[in-house]
Amino acid sequence: MSEPSSRVAELRRFVQVDVFTQQALKGNPLAVVVDGAGLDEATMAAFAWWTNLSETTFLLPPTDPAADYRVRIFTPGGELPFAGHPTLGSAHAWLGSGGDPKRPGEVVQECAIGLVRIRRDGARLAFAAPPLRREGPVDPELRAQAVKSLRIADADLLDLVWVDNGPQWMAARLGSADAVLKLQPDFVSMAGLKLGVVGAYPPGSPQQFEVRAFVPGLGVPEDPVTGSLNAGLALWLQGAGLAPDRYVASQGTAMGRAGRVHVAREDGHCWIGGDVAPLIHGQVRL
């Protein structure tokens, strides 16, 4: 990591929120520097490494006239072109800090993959799932690595497909939510993979799927709740007839969290919704 700028630090508005939960401390935390303009990339990366959260975002003036704001998204290990819980959390922070959308009822976020639409779905926010950049089965070598890293038998892996909407996710489907929850991954064998795992709950359960996300290469062995992965999963599962037009996925259960991702296919889009619980408002000196 390069050294951050030695320029004089400024006080900037800062918020920390918990995403994909109504109950604080049960979702996925996000740090948001509301006044990100003027910060160089090294300082952004250093602050994200310091917060040690799965993601930290920086809100900036848009470069696209159709956007309301621009966001840069950093993990402790590097920058992401797109991520889901930072999208919802950043939009919540932008609105809560006085942001005024150009279009009533809709926020347009600019990020490295382009423009992302965000709408209010009742009391919660929802973003339109970006199209998949890569889909279909992965090659046999990657499948063998995934099987080894998940410590399962090859026969236990019902599907292994690309659901890449920017962060290069692969998705593994297991036979049940219980099988997903019992996983004890080998993160050394998982090196280089961004691997999501999904399994269905029995009919009649409050949630339809359990999801887990493993990204050891970005300094996040397991992500508590992952919007980008759930967005890719929704497009694949619904397109393959494996999920209904509306469903709720739970994630973070294995980590003591209670994340809930609300998926709805309507108006020609797949919307990925979640509640946001604010925790911290203040200033940060950067």
Across the chain, the runs of DSSP E, i.e. the strands, are 11-19, 28-33, 56-60, 69-75, 78-80, 106-111, 114-121, 124-128, 134-137, 159-164, 170-173, 195-200, 209-215, 220-223, 246-251, 259-266, 269-274, 276-285
Q: Which residue has the tokens 């990366």?
A: 45
Cα–Cα distance measured from residue 211 to residue 173, given in angstroms and rounded to the nearest whole number: 9
Catalytic positions are 55
CB distance 58 to 72 below 8 Å: yes
The first and second tokens of residue 107, run together, are 């926020």
The first and second tokens of residue 24, run together, are 């604080």
CB distance 227 to 54 below 8 Å: no
- H or E stretch at 237: helix 227-239
- H helices within 24-176, ranges in order? 41-51, 84-96, 140-150
- Full DSSP string of 58-75: EEE--SSTT-SEEEEEEE
The first and second tokens of residue 113, run together, are 């993959």
